[in-house]
Amino acid sequence: MAGKPSSNVTELNSGHGHAGRNPGLPFEAELFGSLRINRSAVERRAATLGTRRSVKKNHQAAWLLRAISLIDLTTLAGDDTPGKVRRLCQKARRPVRPDVLAALGMSHAGLTTAAVCVYHNQIQVAVKALEGSGIPVAAVSTGFPAGQIPLELKLAQVRASVAAGASEIDIVISRAHVLTGNWRALYDEIAAYREACGDAHLKTILATGELGTLTQVAKASWVCMMGGADFIKTSTGKESVNATLPVSLVMVRAIRDYLELTGHAVGYKPAGGISKAKEALTYLSLMKEELDSRWLRPQLFRFGASSLLGDIERQLEHHVSGSYSASHRHPMG
């Protein structure tokens, strides 16, 4: 729970519900300093998220298609090449086999993934490959994944990636600031990234698997939102523990409280470890239950995933044909 809003924050509250980017707030430790998260209670709620709601048949197919439209299709490997990235971009444009889409009545729905996410060096290749599709390119930045480089270089990288055509920047926060309780430094860092992003959207990766406790996750979420994050994101996909439902609950509830306080809707992106269609459905249910349907759109929700799409494709074919599908029946990215 946040503390009492101070007067300057209360003024911001007058804009409740308006659209547009989160402008952030002046740094105020009181807003998050007393937050406490009860891990066991959060885990209990998380454990029933997948069992309290069930989507079946056509509803399930629709939800899975929706999940595809929310994927930041990602490749972040040392051996990424232009060829590999172009292939991925083609998959982002046409994520599902046309006959399956036709059977679902979705041929003309313009289904694509939400974005393609790459390292800086692949931005231009991706931008070119996605030309005319409207699919944005997201770049990971600021010394991804560990972020252990000087701040000037991080800022330079953000600017360079924006200049190269990335319209979304996924930065990693300095975990040290969280672990040492240096919230002001974290806030300043985020605010600087936001400024460097210009019109590009800022996603802040908390690397929750390295923050130690859920209370720290909640506090870091608040500081990132105060600093002007458009999205808060769990993980780089490179930590040993990435997106989990308990962590997601904590971050999503922070988003809810921030919205209540400021009227600004911040997006959420779980990343890493979500590879099954069923998990994706649970995440969507989480967003719908804890927030609302606005968070089932790419403006406010993304999956950071590479292998999730494959599983969804198989499930969709099963829905259409009644037979369990195989990976090789679906074009790879």
- Looking at the Cβ atoms of 77 and 102, the one nearer to other proteins is 102
Which of 19-27, 39-47, 119-127, 172-180 is the region at the interface with other proteins (rule: CB under 8 A)?
39-47
Which of 15-23, 61-69, 137-145, 325-333 is the region at the interface with other proteins (rule: CB under 8 A)?
61-69
Query: Is residue 104 involved in binding other proteins (CB under 8 A)?
Result: yes
Q: Which amino acid is at 193?
A: Y
Which of 37-45, 136-144, 234-242, 270-278 is the region at the interface with other proteins (rule: CB under 8 A)?
37-45
Q: Smallest distance from the beta carbon of 180 to other proteins, in angstroms?
A: 18
Measured CA to CA in angstroms, residue 4 lies from 27, 189, 266, 285 at distances of: 14, 25, 20, 30
Give the pair of three-digit tokens for residue 295: 């968070």
Q: What is the helix (H) or strand (E) element at residue 268, kind and residue range? A: strand 267-269
User: Distance between CA atoms of 251 and 230, rounded to whole angstroms?
Assistant: 13
The owner of tokens 């249910």 is 285
Q: Which among 166, 198, 228 is positioned nearest to 21, based on CA atoms?
A: 228
Query: Is residue 34 involved in binding other proteins (CB under 8 A)?
Result: yes
Residue of 14, 19, 57, 324 interacting with other proteins (CB under 8 A): 57
Residue of 9, 65, 114, 207 interacting with other proteins (CB under 8 A): 65
Residue of 214, 220, 243, 245 interacting with other proteins (CB under 8 A): 214
- Looking at the Cβ atoms of 58 and 307, the one nearer to other proteins is 58
Which of 36-44, 74-82, 133-141, 236-244 is the region at the interface with other proteins (rule: CB under 8 A)?
36-44
Catalytic positions are: 170, 233, 269
Query: Is residue 44 involved in binding other proteins (CB under 8 A)?
Result: yes
| Per-state percent for the chain, helix, strand, coil, to nearest 5 | 50, 10, 40
- Looking at the Cβ atoms of 18 and 39, the one nearer to other proteins is 39
Residues numbered 134-173 forming contacts with other proteins, rule: CB under 8 A: none
Q: Smallest distance from the beta carbon of 108 to other proteins, in angstroms?
A: 9
User: Distance between CA atoms of 219 and 250, rounded to whole angstroms?
Assistant: 10
User: Distance between CA atoms of 66 and 159, rounded to whole angstroms?
Assistant: 32
Q: Smallest distance from the beta carbon of 103 to other proteins, in angstroms?
A: 9
Q: Angle at which helices 308-321 and 277-290 pack, to 10 degrees?
A: 100
- Looking at the Cβ atoms of 66 and 318, the one nearer to other proteins is 66
Residue of 12, 62, 146, 160 interacting with other proteins (CB under 8 A): 62
Q: Classify residue 297 as exposed, middle or buried by CB count within 10 Å of its CB (0-12, 13-18, 19+).
A: middle
Residue of 138, 140, 166, 296 interacting with other proteins (CB under 8 A): 296
Which of 56-64, 90-98, 145-153, 188-196 is the region at the interface with other proteins (rule: CB under 8 A)?
56-64
Query: Is residue 21 involved in binding other proteins (CB under 8 A)?
Result: no
The pairing of beta strand 267-269 with beta strand 231-233: parallel
CB within 8 A of 113, min separation 6: which ones?
68, 69, 70, 71, 72, 73, 91, 92, 95, 135, 309
Q: What are phi and psi of 233, to 5 degrees?
A: -130, 145
- Looking at the Cβ atoms of 40 and 240, the one nearer to other proteins is 40
Residue 152 burial (CB count, 10 A): 9
Q: Which residues bind other proteins (CB under 8 A)?
A: 1, 34, 36-45, 48, 51-59, 61-63, 65-66, 104-106, 109, 213-215, 253, 284-285, 288-289, 293, 296
